[in-house]
Amino acid sequence: MKVTIKGQITVPLALRERYGLHPGTEVEFEPEAGGLRVKARKRTRKNATAFDTWLVHAAGSSTAGLSTDKIMAMTRGEG
């Protein structure tokens, strides 16, 4: 890999898939003996998006009393 003039690198697809590095994932660089460690930044309340906040509050809030299979059948027009 080479660092571009803008300081960018390309992370190989196999590594992006293995470590869940999707477009928009924030990463951190940590110095260590002999080089740098790159890791995905964990989401916190400080850097959470509005969607992240909504998702936390929405999780488990369904009151429909329907199974996932029944809901999927309904969305497909099968029920």
Question: What is the full per-residue pLDDT of the chain (79 aa) written as tens digits?
Answer: 889 999 999 999 999 899 888 888 888 999 999 999 998 887 666 667 788 778 878 887 877 788 888 888 989 988 6
CA dihedral 42, 47, 49, 52 (to 10 degrees): 40
Query: What pLDDT is stored for residue 42 in this prediction?
Result: 76
Residue 54 domain-assigned?
Answer: yes
Residue 40's closest CA among 7, 6, 11, 1?
A: 11
Domain annotation covers residue 7: no
| Cβ atoms 2, 11 nearer than 8 A | no
| pLDDT of 5 | 95
Q: Which domain holds residue 29?
A: 13-75
Please tell me the pTM assigned to this model: 0.47
Domain total for the chain?
1
Residue 2 within any structural domain of the chain: no
In sequence order, the β-bridge partners of residue 22 are none
- Residue 8 belongs to some domain of the structure: no
pLDDT, residue 32, reads 94
Q: Does residue 1 fall inside a structural domain? A: no
